[in-house]
Amino acid sequence: MAKIKTKTLLTVLLILFTIFSISTLTTAKKNHGFSRILSPAKLGLKREKLSHLHFYFHDIVSGKNATAVRVAEAPMTKTSFTGFGAVVMIDDPLTVKPQLSSKPVGRAQGIYASASQTDLGLLMVLNFAFTEGKYNGSTLSVLGRNTVFSDVREMPIVGGSGLFRFARGYAHAHTHTIDFKTGDAVVEYNVYVFHY
């Protein structure tokens, strides 16, 4: 009697398990017509690597050939000692050496804006668009906070395109030179990114 009961119990458990497995499988296969699970190899993704990029960023705010232009501000921007509310659009050259005439590697294109009322803290939203060598056409996206009077500022790299697909990492910015008369600055960037 006890033996039969055990057998029946096992059979019921087996049936339940089978039903559960099938329903789990069908749920996993349900792709709603627009998504599927893919192996990284199918996208040609091999081993993830870490790259270090080093270049100089030229923020030219003065003169005819300015590469950074103020596009918006608030009424209070003029009286705020941090210029709170100012929004600047940039297309800044990136070069291998501190001299603007040195070899170009790309442009920093995007926006920086004064986002702090108490210290000079910029919101940086920009893409590094590279034009040199194998990186030509690839981009890295920066979204971070830049306290420009700190020695080294760290900003997250939140993504990328081309050779930098799936990129993530950080950028260290250090002011190389600044002309306090014109506001023009040369900033050294060290960028560390994981990508494939």
Give the residue with the Cβ less far from ligand NAG, 65 or 79. 65
**C-alpha–C-alpha distance, residues 155 and 138, integer Å:** 19
Distances (CA, A) of 68 to 35, 87, 107, 187: 41, 10, 12, 14
End-to-end CA distance of the chain: 63
Instruction: Specify the stretch interacting with ligand NAG by CB under 6 A; choose among 44-52, 60-68, 118-126, 174-182.
Output: 60-68
- Is 99 a binding residue for ligand NAG by CB under 6 A? The answer is no
* Residue of the chain from 31, 65, 79, 118 that contacts ligand NAG (CB under 6 A): 65
Give the residue with the Cβ less far from ligand NAG, 40 or 137. 137
Tell which positions 27-46 bind ligand NAG, by CB under 6 A.
none
Radius of gyration from C-alpha coordinates of the chain: 27
Least CB distance from residue 189 to ligand NAG, whole Å?
19
* Residue of the chain from 21, 131, 177, 182 that contacts ligand NAG (CB under 6 A): 131
Could you tell me which of 132, 129, 145 has the C-alpha nearest to residue 90? 129
* Residue of the chain from 117, 136, 177, 182 that contacts ligand NAG (CB under 6 A): 136
Cα 158 to the chain's mean position, in Å?
Answer: 2
- Is 62 a binding residue for ligand NAG by CB under 6 A? The answer is no
Q: CB burial class (10 A; 0-12, 13-18, 19+) of residue 178?
A: middle
- Is 134 a binding residue for ligand NAG by CB under 6 A? The answer is no
* Residue of the chain from 89, 132, 175, 176 that contacts ligand NAG (CB under 6 A): 132
Least CB distance from residue 115 to ligand NAG, whole Å?
30
- Is 79 a binding residue for ligand NAG by CB under 6 A? The answer is no
Could you tell me which of 127, 145, 146 has the C-alpha nearest to residue 135? 127
- Is 24 a binding residue for ligand NAG by CB under 6 A? The answer is no
Binding residue count for ligand NAG, defined by CB under 6 A:
7
Question: Residue 189 has what DSSP assignment?
Answer: E
Q: Cite the DSSP H helix spans in the chain.
A: 2-29
Task: List residues near ligand NAG by CB under 6 A.
Answer: 63-65, 131-132, 136-137
